Structure 1
Amino acid sequence: MSHADSAQRSVVSLAGIGANTAAKLEKLGIFTLQDLLFHLPLRYEDRTHISPIGSLKPGVSALIKGTVALTDVVSRGRKSLIVKIGDGTGMISLRFFHFSAGQLKQLTPGTVISCFGESRYGYAGFEMVHPEYTVISSADMVITESRLTPVYPLTEGVRQSTLRKAIKHALSLCQENPSWLTDWLPSSLLKSFNYPSLMEAIHTLHAPDESVTVQALYSGSVPALKRLAFEELLAHHLSLRLSRHQARAWQAPVFSLDPSTRRHFFKSLPFTLTGAQQRVITEIETDCKQPHPMLRLVQGDVGSGKTIVSAYAALLALTSGLQVAVMAPTELLAEQHFRNFTGWFKGFQTEIVYLTGQMRGSARKSALQMINEGSAGIIIGTHALFQEQVNFHKLGLVIIDEQHRFGVDQRMALRDKCGLENQRPHQLVMTATPIPRTLAMLNYSDLDISIIDELPPGRQPVITSVIPAERRPDVIARISSWVAQKRQAYWVCTLIEESELLQCEAAEKTYLQLSEALPGIKVSLVHGRMKSTDKDAVMKAFKNGEYDLLVATTVIEVGVDVPNASLMIIENPERLGLSQLHQLRGRVGRGQDASYCVLMYQSPLSDTAKHRLSVLRDSNDGFVIAEKDLELRGPGEVMGTRQTGQMQFKVVDLARDTDLLDNVQQIADSLITETPEAVSPLINRWLGKSTHYAEV
């Protein structure tokens, strides 16, 4: 093995790591010494000094030393061992739920111990639950550490002590052999940003010396942290750039459209396109005339008319003799696309097929056959389009709606069964979630971005008001007069904690209360635990005017179009992100009349919550709102990092490290031209096994 790649040695080469532990470490993505070095601490514990018991604060972990005053076994509630210790400045109880007879003997009054844990308020003043402790046998025993203690992300069967020991060993090996771990960032860059070398940075984060405080590590002001965060952002950016480069190398069918078909299509529409829609259509057309795959993201606020733009792209594929797949995250949305496309393509000889997971029997069989033979021109559906039994005849264009709801693997699965010889379909991705520039650069730098920044004429901005829940009776009265004018309304019950079950229960309760409070008004209910078919039936009935008021959970966030529903009440809006609230609000204002959204919050509101809701009240611009959301809550919430397709970072915290993004693009350019050999190793170091995503 050459020196240069010795950091690629298996972790089994370290003392104390056998095959069994190595297999467990693989679950953490740790295979080699390099992986181990890049497995950075989640947080740090400060055992560098002893805190007086009298100075402890709730929720803060500290190292203390004291003499046992009392030991007692309490059987109230869960049986537990209580040990009271004091140091002259104060007393604290240590509580152990799991204890042995040996501990009872060991922790007798008069014994001096040191312990580390988080203090909190208990029944009788301050307590620590299950602290780590050591009995102090001699006066000169050293109990403090010289450095902060790292706490690593773990997996079942791997202990902190095992990881700490292995990482310490790996660090010393790499320090003895500096050539093992190549620093791929040019020294001129390190100099201009005042960044330490790679080995220095890694050492600082695993074993910070006394000059580094916990606060500095958490705030991200430590140069070592900045350097690694920058390198990680660079690796992500490079991987997307590379994937774009690879995509450009693929062949794709060239679309062409004769001007008369184009004129006929636009003439047959019941509306005129806005300037922004026409501009985006031209961008798509230019892409699809190239012999390599289009990868374009169309961003447009709720109601800006993205779907018709995608329908025009579909027309390009159809007239070139190819199939189109349109994929939506919910059946409701897929059905809406099906209705829209069916209307717009009435005068064109094309079969439109609808495919969802609910389809069974002969309907499903004939749909699959039409897709396979090519008699189906446009195929619209949900995740069902990824299923193995679905095989396209010649798929020329993939349209994905609300892209952040699909994982990367799913998009790849669809692309891989297009039935084209040595070619890839064009991809058009749509989202109504405006993505702040910083995140777009990170998550979508493999895509060209188009923005529809103009609402169709006649669309009214939604008038938003913020009121306390104490005024609920007034709001209910307002619904009565609203319905009397033959209009419909939504009542949205938001998340209670993270539990879908509780959220659905809250919606059911609200539904019963409102049905009682509003006799003579037809109320319906839709929530996430209902079967898709039942949900769709309720939504359809609401759209057809059979109900006046729809009580719903946030399942209605995406894409349902009911022009007559122009009042929305959102309960507990302080629990949702601004972008999500903006999405919900976009369900009203679909018609020609003035529309209203009432944000009904629980008092008292924190200052941040007040500020957030006022942003929403004062703006209808999704981009302004998304930027604010990023500022106030951080990126995981904005992007919905819980989705499978989003980036997971080891070091980067986007809320903290946004300023680092400013130089990423420029440094990436110079690496690609000046040291191209650094690109792949950098990507592999940070993204490891996940780089098969590079081609999406």
Structure 2
Amino acid sequence: MTPNFSAPLSTYFTLSDKKLALFEKAGVKTLGELLLHLPLRYEDRSHLTPIADLKHETYALVHAEVVDSRVSFSRRKMLHITVQDSSGARLYLRYFHFFASQPKQFVAGRWGLFYAKAQAGAYGMEFHHPEIQWLNGAQLPELSEHLLAVYSTVSGLSQKDWRKLIAQALVLVKPLAVKDVLVVRGYLSFYQALEQLHRPQYSLDEAQLAKARERLIVEELCAHQLSIALARAYRSRLQAPKIRIDTQALQRFEQSLSFELTKAQRRVFAEITQDLTRSQPMMRLIQGDVGSGKTIVALLAALSVIYAGYQAVLMVPTELLAEQHAQNIQRLLQGQSIQVAVLVSKMPAAKKRATLQAVTSGEVQLIIGTHAVFQAQVQYHNLALIMIDEQHRFGVHQRLALQDKSVAEQAVHQLVLTATPIPRTLAMSVYGELDISVIDELPAGRKPIHTSVISASRREALIERVGENCRQGRQAYWVCPLIEESEVLECENAQAIAQMLQACLPDIKVGLVHGRLAQQERYAVMQAFIKNEIALLVATTVIEVGVDVANASLMIIENAERFGLAQLHQLRGRVGRGAQQSYCVLMYQAPLGEVARQRLEVMRESNDGFVIAQEDLNIRGGGELLGTRQTGAKLFKVADLERDAMLLPKIAQYTQEWLMENQAFVEILLARWAAGKMRYLQS
């Protein structure tokens, strides 16, 4: 029977609930995830090393007997063991942490196999916390013919647990070798590739391991491209409302604006209206640099469907941004009978009930919110357009899943916005099922932001500069560093910095905003900043996207070396939105690592988001550029778009052939790599 890659581990293996929970914690819930949990490195335990031949900082396997053991209580409690091999050469084992029962294992005369990295100590070579296989007497067991895989793990799961379960899983997939069409093209079979990567022969060289990895990379990229091709085919079969564009109403709205649309904005909006007038659902990506005016284009798209009698929804990454978008859009829509509602998770229950009812009845035409806008209890009256801020990192399958929010058996039109310009090769691979529009022009009057990089040792001079800036009637941001993956600590740090700045600048009104503030309090602080009642706003990265205050002309980013290029560019984009010259100061803590130095240099030299995105791709690779490593949703398990770009023409050829001639293999690949995600690609 063909194994089901999306089946939970419990389908094939007898594991306790505790073990299943630990594997899930490690990111492995299914058979497919287990097989593709590839080793971090390998250990060679195929031969013994005499103690006399041990080399510093080298892993080795030693066959020795215990001579003695003792616990010392000098500076800290430590377990010391002396072992010797058959030549009489001695090795010292050290345990800095150990259980009370552990010393009892080390009985004089007991033989074992000891594996660890050798360290040169005061009295000779040492092993710290070695792995031990105890033996019956001095008889040496048969050594492994394989290199031993070492896996990323969680507390409670040993390497032995991983090796045992993966060995069982490999037995299940061994029969797949006979059904493998990639073998005829010169690749290893799927089973051979997994076998070599999980249990390589000790004689295997890097070239053979690379061949095994290439098989999986090609297969994963093929599955991804097939997924995109099927998504496009699925979309072509759907019916969406054909929107009758009210050109006159849109022109009246445009004339009410206090600014002129750029040529790029007009071009992109024309592409959107062309999509909306068709019966196929629009699925379009708007790429545009920070401050290029994507939001006003999205609003024009929303008005196009609202004037035609439908609803539109805009999903953004933070509650703060939802509130600000709603406020700005309501200001732009003054005098029009269009109702705008905010829908976020942290709303008072009564207000949320009233908002949900207004959405269901159709009383509200434009809904702005976080992921809450797609929760099960939200029922739309006649939704025709979904707009998604790309910060949500929705993938192809999630974007298609949003069709569930359509009404009357019709699909909805979708617009994805990204302020992170992505190199074309990467964009086509990630957003392949979307049509792409680019706003490649900034509004008139915008001046490039001057960026400088300074050491934290110059903090006092910088605070003085911020004070001068604010006393001249301009405003500034001071963004706090990322301490660690803890919102609580970030907020505590922001509070400390706000207090310090207020003490240093007693004549300047300092405000504080972060993600843990109550919604009303956060709104009040932002309103005060927008009205220039607060001159200096201390903030965590909640202000990364969307916050638009034209009078803010100075951005300080503390510990800038902790941020990625995309995030630095987003934060810098909060200034430079008015006619005055704006500045960004990247403050770093010495010493700087090489990658951090490269990032800050790129920021100092360029304001162009596309240039920055390409440099980010060069420095960090595709997955991290898209934010997927930070969010834990890695785009690919084995492949890397930057590293493997040369394979893409071959991938395109394979997938085209298989779609026409080998539907059975297409289904096999999708079952392996897109298991559980293909519901919207069937029929």
Q: TM-score, normalised by structure 1?
A: 0.87
Query: Secondary structure of the residue that 2:596 maps to in structure 1?
Result: helix
Does 1:201 pair with 2:185? no
Amino acid at match of 1:201: A
Letter in 2 for 1:497: E
Aligned partners of 2:102 and 2:303: how far apart in 1?
Answer: 79
Match of 1:271 among 245, 255, 259: 259
- Report the alpha carbon displacement of residue 434 of structure 1 after superposing the two structures with TM: 2.0
Give the alignment partner of residue 310 of structure 1, picking from 298, 316, 321.
298
Q: Using the alignment, how far apart are the partners of 2:216 and 2:155 within structure 1?
A: 27
Change (3 A) 1:97 1:292: same
Distance apart, 1:182 and its partner CA: 2.2
- Partner of 2:284 in structure 1? 296
Residue 146 of structure 2 aligns with an amino acid whose one-letter code is: R
Which position in structure 1 is the counterpart of 2:247?
259
Greater mean alpha carbon deviation, residues 322-331 or residues 354-363: 354-363
- The partner residue of 1:691 within 664, 670, 678 is 678
Task: Calculate the aligned-residue CA RMSD, in Å.
Answer: 3.6
* CA displacement at 1:272 relative to structure 2: 1.4
**Partners of 1:303 and 1:590 within 8 A in 2:** yes
Question: CA–CA distance in 1 between the matches of 2:390 and 2:170?
Answer: 44
State the alpha-carbon separation in 2 of the partners of residues 228 and 43 from structure 1: 17
Counterpart among 193, 207, 212 of residue 224 in structure 1: 212
Counterpart-to-counterpart distance in 2, 1:461 and 1:256: 40
**In structure 2, distance between residues paired with 1:124 and 1:438:** 57
1:131 aligns with 2:130: yes
Q: Name the residue aligned to 1:681.
A: 668
The answer to whether the 8 Å contact 1:404/1:643 transfers is no
Q: What SS does the corresponding residue of 2:145 show, helix, strand or coil? A: coil
For 1:575-614, list aligned pairs within 5 A: 575-614=562-601
Aligned to 1:141: 140
2:501 equivalent in structure 1:
514
What amino acid is aligned across from residue 204 of structure 2 in structure 1?
A: V
Query: 1:38: how far off?
Result: 4.5
- Pairwise mapping of residues 565-580 of structure 1 onto structure 2 (< 5 A)? 565-580=552-567
The question of whether the paired residues in 2 share the 8 Å contact of 1:318 and 1:324 is answered with: yes
Change (3 A) 1:401 1:477: same
Are residues 557 and 462 of structure 1, via their aligned partners in 2, closer, same or farther at CA, if it must alter by over 3 Å? Answer: same
Secondary structure of 2:380 counterpart: coil
Q: Which amino acid aligns with 1:565?
A: A
Instruction: Tell whether the 8 Å contact from 1:24 to 1:155 is kept in structure 2 after alignment.
Output: no
Kindly report which structure 2 residues correspond to 1:17-32, keeping only aligned pairs within 5 A, or say none.
17=14, 27=24
Counterpart of 1:455 in structure 2 is 442
Shift of 1:205: 1.2
2:204 match: 212
Deviations 1:248-276 (A, max 9, x none): 21110001214323332322222111111
The answer as to whether partners of 1:7 and 1:174 remain within 8 angstroms in 2 is no
Provide the rounded CA distance (Å) in 2 between the counterparts of 1:21 and 1:184. 39
Q: Corresponding residue for 1:93? A: 93
Q: Please, which moves more after superposition, 259-268 or 372-381?
A: 259-268
Distance change in 2, residues 1:181/1:647 (3 Å): farther
Contact 1:356/1:382 (<8 A) preserved: yes
| Aligned position for 1:117 | 116
Equivalent residue for 1:422, pick from 405, 409, 413: 409
Please say if 1:185 is aligned against 2:173.
no
Question: SS in structure 2 opposite 1:293?
Answer: coil
Q: Is the 8 A contact 1:525 1:551 kept in 2?
A: yes
Q: 1:316 and 1:443 mapped to 2: Cα distance?
A: 28
Distance 1:125 1:475 in 2: 53
C-alpha deviation, 1:138, in angstroms = 6.2
| Cα distance between partner residues in 2 of 1:259 and 1:501 | 49
* Cα distance in 1 for residues equivalent to 2:594 and 2:506: 38
Distance 1:358 1:240 in 2: 35
Q: Give the aligned partner of residue 638 of structure 1.
A: 625
Give the 3-state SS of the residue equivalent to 2:677 in structure 1: helix
Structure 1, 377-386 or 590-599: larger mean CA deviation: 377-386
Q: Could you tell me how far apart the structure 1 residues matched to 2:519 and 2:347 are?
A: 12
Asked if the contact 2:78/2:94 (under 8 Å) is kept, the reply is no
Q: How many pairs does the alignment contain?
A: 677
Number of the residue aligned with 2:317: 329
Shift of 1:506: 2.3
- For residues 359 and 206 of structure 1, do their structure 2 counterparts lie closer, same or farther at Cα, with a shift above 3 Å needed? closer
Which residue pairs with 1:235 in the alignment?
223
1:542-561 to 2 correspondences below 5 Å: 542-561=529-548
Judge which range, 202-211 or 5-14, deviates more: 5-14
* DSSP 3-state at the match of 2:436: strand
Residue 559 of structure 1 and its aligned partner are, at CA, apart by 0.9
Distance change in 2, residues 1:199/1:487 (3 Å): same
Change (3 A) 1:652 1:693: farther
Q: Distance in 2 between matches of 1:298 and 1:304?
A: 11
> Are residues 486 and 111 of structure 1, via their aligned partners in 2, closer, same or farther at CA, if it must alter by over 3 Å?
same
Q: Matched residues in 2 for 1:302 and 1:11: separation?
A: 45
Deviations 1:78-137 (A, max 9, x none): 7553213467888443317445768536442x6554312356799999764542213466
In the alignment, structure 1 residue 670 sits paired with structure 2 residue 657: yes
Q: Which amino acid aligns with 1:422?
A: E
Task: Report the residue type matching 2:196 in the other structure.
Answer: T
Structure 2, unaligned runs of 5 or more: none
How far does the alpha carbon of each residue in 1:635-680 deviate from its partner, in whole angstroms, 9 at most, with x for none? Answer: 4432222577944533235564444445433432232223233212
Counterpart-to-counterpart distance in 2, 1:517 and 1:21: 53
* Alpha-carbon separation, structure 2, partners of 1:433 and 1:125: 55
> Among 609, 627, 633, which residue is 2:614 paired with?
627
Corresponding residue SS for 2:409: coil
Indicate the larger mover: 18-27 or 481-490.
18-27
User: Per-residue deviation at 1:313?
Assistant: 0.9
Change (3 A) 1:355 1:200: closer
d(CA) in 1 for partners of 2:95, 2:512: 47
Quote the offset at 1:151 in angstroms. 3.2
CA distance in 2, matches of 1:78, 1:303: 57
Q: Does the Cα contact within 8 Å between 1:22 and 1:31 map onto a contact in 2?
A: no
Structure 1's unaligned 5+ residue stretches are none
Task: Give the aligned residue type for 1:277.
Answer: Q
Distance 1:156 1:679, change over 3 A: farther
Query: Kindly tell me: are residues 451 and 291 of structure 1, through their superposed partners in 2, closer, same or farther at Cα, counting changes over 3 Å?
Result: same
Counterpart residue type for residue 182 of structure 2: L
In the superposition, relative to structure 1, how do residues 598 and 216 fare at CA in structure 2: closer, same or farther (>3 Å)? farther
The answer as to whether partners of 1:386 and 1:410 remain within 8 angstroms in 2 is no
Classify 1:519/1:167 alpha carbon distance in 2 versus 1 (closer, same or farther; 3 Å): closer
Q: Deviations over 1:356-404 (max 9, x none)?
A: 3344365444433322222322222233322333211100111122343
Aligned to 1:383: 371
Relative to 1, partners in 2 of residues 1:483 and 1:120: Cα closer, same or farther, differing over 3 Å?
Answer: farther
Query: What CA distance in whole angstroms lies between the structure 1 residues aligned with 2:563 and 2:417?
Result: 23
Q: Contact 2:111/2:138 (CA < 8 Å) preserved in 1?
A: no
Length-normalised TM-score, structure 2 = 0.88
317-326 or 651-660, larger mean C-alpha shift:
651-660
**Equivalent residue, structure 1, for 2:71:** 73
Give the partner amino acid of 1:83.
I
In structure 2, the CA distance between the partners of 1:362 and 1:144, relative to structure 1 (3 Å rule), is closer
Q: What is the deviation of 1:456?
A: 0.7
Which has the higher mean CA deviation after the structures are superposed, 473-482 or 593-602? 473-482
